[in-house]
Structure 1
Amino acid sequence: MTRRPRPKIVTLTDAAATRVQEIMASSAKPYLRVGVNNGGCAGMEYVLDYADAPEPFDELVEDHDVKILIKADAVMFLLGSVIDHETTRLASKFVFRNPNQTDACGCGESVTIVPAKLEA
């Protein structure tokens, strides 16, 4: 029986990887931690932070030479997500393209996410 390869929890676009590498170059912490928290009018918010080391049960994803720690309670909500970075005349921000996201608030700061459904 052949096992299917495990999908990456998150991937970075070239633009996101470049921006993360720029930001991380000025940080003493070697990891980017990605998670979701309850909050906002749509129910959940994406969270990005620096990290010194993995916490118990964190998932490590390496993409474009960036070490990303995924909080254990966020894995099923982030599975298959692509993190991009966009710059406009008025803003510069990370954008999540998440197949598990079903809605977002009007301001775009919070989202509704359902856990990924794994195929058998």
Structure 2
Amino acid sequence: MLTIDNPVYVRPAARQQILDTLLANKIPADYGLRVGVRGGGCGASWLLGLDLPGPSDEVYNVEGVQVIIDRKHLLYVLGAEIGYESGGYTVDKPPSVP
């Protein structure tokens, strides 16, 4: 279930891959998965990466993964599903509900 406490959903394969990456690379526990959007000429693209939270960020514990979202991006990423396939991470955003 999606709530403001869990603004995004992390699928099990993505969760495991994130936790394995953090452990294998000995990344400090302060780091988390940054989820956001990046503006572009014809639209926006997804921003995913491991990062430290900053002063304008909200930090959530989603399925055991620390998720970092800049407050300015929250509305755009709300409801996104983070997945993982053999080619890398995926992000799916359900259609907007009127």
User: Superposed, which structure 2 residues align to 1:28-43 within 5 Å?
Assistant: 28=28, 30-39=31-40, 42-43=42-43
Corresponding residue for residue 24 of structure 1:
22
5+ residue gaps in structure 1? Answer: 101-115
**How far, CA to CA, are the matches of 1:33 and 1:7 in structure 2?**
16
Aligned residue pair count: 93
Corresponding residue for residue 113 of structure 1:
none
User: Superposed, which structure 2 residues align to 1:1-120 within 5 Å?
Assistant: 6=4, 8-25=6-23, 26=25, 27-28=27-28, 30-39=31-40, 42-52=42-52, 54-87=53-86, 92-100=87-95
- Checking the alignment, whether the CA contact within 8 Å between 1:10 and 1:61 is kept in structure 2 is no
SS at 2:66 equivalent: strand
Q: Displaced runs of 4+ in structure 1, greater than 3 A?
A: none
**How far, CA to CA, are the matches of 1:24 and 1:43 in structure 2?**
31
TM-score w.r.t. length of structure 1? 0.66
5+ residue gaps in structure 2? Answer: none
**How far, CA to CA, are the matches of 1:22 and 1:65 in structure 2?**
12
TM-score w.r.t. length of structure 2? 0.78
Q: What is the RMSD of the two structures over their aligned residues, measured on CA atoms?
A: 2.3
Per-residue Cα deviation, 1:8-39 (whole angstroms, up to 9, x for no partner):
21110000101111112212352121111112
Greater RCO structure (CA 8 Å; 6+ sep): 2
Per-residue Cα deviation, 1:46-101 (whole angstroms, up to 9, x for no partner):
1112223x2123121212211010111210011111111112xxxx211111125x
**How far, CA to CA, are the matches of 1:74 and 1:46 in structure 2?**
10
**How far, CA to CA, are the matches of 2:40 and 2:21 in structure 1?**
25
Larger relative helix fraction:
2
